[in-house]
């Protein structure tokens, strides 16, 4: 029997170490689905929503560095992929998406479920083409895979359903992709100029991003050589915090005063492998140097004294012989002292566990950090879960953390945990979900149940869209339409044959979380946390404080005095510290 294009597709995926296809099957995907069934070296993962499939593939790709695959059937099926693909693309995750399409003969005449895949995926991919003949398909598939792994992002290949049934044609295109692993280093004269600048200044701060992955030891050595505090982005926390005596925490919306001031009080800020998007948190009157492997990122966030193209490990290794060790550590000690006071303040929130149904989320996250495995993979929902994760989850050499750090989408934690669980079945996977995020893609709890994925799902059930609530208050608006009327998440999990727990008493948080982590297979815990717990940024601007005050006054005038009192009482210590 002759080989079909669908068989050719799946054989190529297998040859390139792609282990599974995350998808919801449909008529235009049937031949590809069948090819997976016949081929015993790849698995079809039946998610309940294509967005979940794209998120799961993105998570797998980020954790393994290998290409991962998702697919969507014609029209609505592949449209649902878009949000997850945006997140994967902005996270530099090598993902290939198979967007099956309507029959070739019906294209261009507004046929049932017709979409223009070329326009649809143009903004969230490096490669995006529609195959039309068996002759071109092998070369297009190779080009898509090659672009994805080399550029670190999404490739989309549109495949009409009728094309997958046609007889495959052999091609001169290689079956396997090439994975160059080159080091990139600035020129010698650039390094000499950089070294001279660093040698001539005393107060230097390192601000590090995900580009420092694999260069932990080099960053720590540089910080010791220069007596420089190390601030970092949330995304890179697990890569840089551990065994780093000079770390001073994060800056940004989720950050801490120590991270913020160590950057603003420096003479020189050295940005290493970060495209940190929040320019408002970057200093304006500090000599700033940026080193990044992608030169198009240089200077797009702030004015630079120097911009250098290079990977961090190679660049720092070449720089070390040109630097002079600094003796004075006054600046470093000042920032470390400030960091200690910040950590003491954060610990004070943990000392008070909260009240029944108003459990402090800070306390919950600290217990998760304490009980989770030293090699756990955490996935964190966008919003308040990110805040508590940023401040209370601690790095080890083995832990990993995923979130929608660049795209900022809700509902990412659950689907990313699915990809993590398939990629690393022997590791502990902890999905830290907001009630809003979990509600959005609740159906894929059943995917976790169906495949018996041993994911531990921690739901911060504060009955509100917490981050949106805070955003409205800072803008001077009384919060509106942020309340959540939730189902009983434990009963939902029970209906799906997932072990489940509910905690309303703060005294039972630790013991129940311990039971959760000791449970075999998937398990969910719904913890009733305080909806008035606020996430204050490292520095509060006057306009933000003014807006918050206006919001509180409007709430009082609308008869919501009790809520205002609860907000102030819940957050007084943190407000006082920041102000």
Q: Model's pTM, two decimal places?
A: 0.90
Would you give per-residue pLDDT tens digits along the chain (579 residues)?
Answer: 579 999 999 999 999 999 999 999 988 999 999 999 999 999 999 999 999 999 999 999 999 999 999 999 999 999 999 999 999 999 999 999 999 998 887 777 787 878 999 999 999 999 999 999 999 999 999 999 999 999 999 999 999 999 999 999 988 878 889 988 889 999 999 999 999 999 999 999 999 999 999 999 999 999 999 999 999 999 999 999 999 999 999 988 788 889 999 999 999 999 999 999 888 889 999 999 999 999 999 999 999 999 999 999 999 999 999 999 999 999 999 999 999 998 988 888 788 899 999 999 999 999 999 999 999 999 999 988 998 999 999 999 999 999 999 999 999 999 999 999 999 999 999 999 999 999 999 999 999 999 999 999 999 999 876 667 666 666 677 777 777 789 999 999 999 999 999 999 999 999 999 999 999 999 999 999 998 886 665 554 545 444 444 444 444 445 545 554 554 555 544 444 444
Reference 42, options 69, 20, 72; nearest CA is 20
d(CA 564, CA 575): 14
Please state, as a whole number, how many other Cβ atoms lie within 10 Å of the Cβ of residue 120: 19
Q: Which domains does the chain have, with CATH numbers?
A: 5-165 (3.40.50.970), 188-338 (3.40.50.1220), 352-578 (3.40.50.970)
d(CA 380, CA 415): 11
pLDDT of residue 346: 85
pLDDT of residue 578: 42
Phi, psi of 559 (to 5 degrees): 80, 25
End-to-end CA distance of the chain: 74
Query: What are the Cα distances from residue 303, in Å, to 137, 229, 284, 385?
Result: 45, 21, 8, 32
d(CA 233, CA 134): 46
pLDDT of residue 384: 87
Which 3 state secondary structure label does DSSP give 425? coil
d(CA 356, CA 506): 6
Please state, as a whole number, how many other Cβ atoms lie within 10 Å of the Cβ of residue 105: 10
Query: What are the Cα distances from residue 242, in Å, to 218, 234, 344, 394, 479?
Result: 13, 14, 18, 8, 38
Sequence-ordered strand ranges (E) for 220-342: 230-232, 247-250, 268-272, 287-292, 306-309
């Amino acid at each position: 029997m002759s080989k079909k294009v669908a068989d050719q597709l799946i054989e190529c995926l297998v040859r390139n170490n792609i282990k599974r296809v995350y998808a919801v099957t449909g008529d235009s995907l049937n031949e590809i689905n069948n090819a997976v069934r016949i081929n015993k070296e790849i698995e079809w993962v039946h998610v309940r929503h294509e967005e979940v499939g794209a998120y799961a593939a993105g998570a797998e790709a980020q954790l393994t560095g290998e290409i991962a695959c998702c697919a969507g059937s014609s029209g609505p099926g592949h449209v649902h992929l878009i949000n997850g693909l945006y997140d994967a693309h902005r996270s530099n995750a090598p993902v290939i998406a198979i967007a099956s399409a309507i029959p070739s003969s019906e294209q261009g005449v507004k046929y049932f479920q017709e979409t223009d895949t070329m326009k649809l995926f143009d903004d969230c991919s490096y490669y995006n083409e529609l195959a039309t003949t068996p002759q071109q398909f092998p070369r297009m598939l190779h080009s898509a895979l090659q672009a994805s792994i080399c550029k670190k992002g999404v490739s989309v290949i549109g495949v009409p359903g009728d094309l997958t049934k046609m007889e495959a044609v052999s091609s001169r295109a290689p079956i396997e992709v090439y994975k160059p692993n080159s080091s990139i280093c600035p020129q010698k004269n650039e390094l000499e100029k950089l070294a001279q600048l660093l040698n001539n200044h005393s107060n230097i701060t390192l601000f590090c991003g995900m580009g420092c992955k694999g260069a932990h030891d080099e960053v720590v050595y540089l910080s010791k050589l220069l007596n420089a505090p190390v601030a970092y982005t949330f995304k890179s926390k697990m890569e840089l915090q551990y065994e780093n005596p000079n770390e001073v925490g994060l800056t940004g919306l989720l950050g801490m005063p120590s991270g913020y001031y160590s950057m603003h009080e420096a003479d020189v800020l050295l940005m290493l492998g970060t495209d940190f998007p929040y320019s408002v948190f970057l200093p304006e009157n500090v000599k700033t140097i940026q080193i990044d492997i992608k030169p198009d990122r240089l200077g797009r966030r702030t004015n630079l004294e120097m911009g250098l193209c290079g990977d961090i490990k190679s660049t720092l290794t070449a720089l070390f012989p040109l630097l002079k060790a600094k003796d004075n550590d006054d600046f470093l000690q000042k920032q470390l002292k400030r960091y200690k006071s910040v950590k003491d303040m954060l610990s004070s929130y943990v000392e008070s566990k909260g009240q029944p149904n108003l459990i402090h989320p800070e306390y919950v996250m600290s217990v998760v950090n304490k009980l989770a495995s030293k090699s756990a993979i955490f996935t964190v929902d966008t919003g308040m879960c990110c805040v508590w994760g940023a401040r209370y989850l601690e790095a080890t050499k083995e832990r990993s953390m995923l979130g929608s750090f660049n795209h900022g989408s809700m509902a990412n934690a659950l689907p990313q945990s699915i990809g993590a669980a398939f990629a690393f079945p022997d590791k502990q996977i902890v999905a830290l979900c907001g009630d809003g995020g979990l509600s959005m893609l609740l159906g894929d709890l059943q995917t976790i149940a169906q495949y018996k994925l041993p994911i531990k799902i921690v739901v911060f059930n504060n009955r509100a869209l917490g981050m949106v609530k805070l955003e409205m208050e800072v803008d001077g608006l009384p919060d509106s339409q942020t309340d959540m009327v939730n189902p009983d998440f434990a009963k939902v999990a029970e209906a799906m044959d997932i072990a489940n727990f509910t905690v309303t008493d703060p005294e039972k948080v630790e013991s129940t979380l311990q039971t959760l982590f000791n449970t075999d297979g998937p398990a969910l815990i719904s913890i009733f946390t305080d909806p008035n717990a606020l996430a204050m940024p490292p520095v509060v601007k006057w306009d933000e404080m003014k807006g918050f005050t206006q919001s509180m006054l409007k709430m009082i005038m609308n008869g919501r005095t009790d809520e205002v009192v609860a907000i102030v009482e819940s957050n007084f210590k943190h407000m006082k510290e920041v102000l």
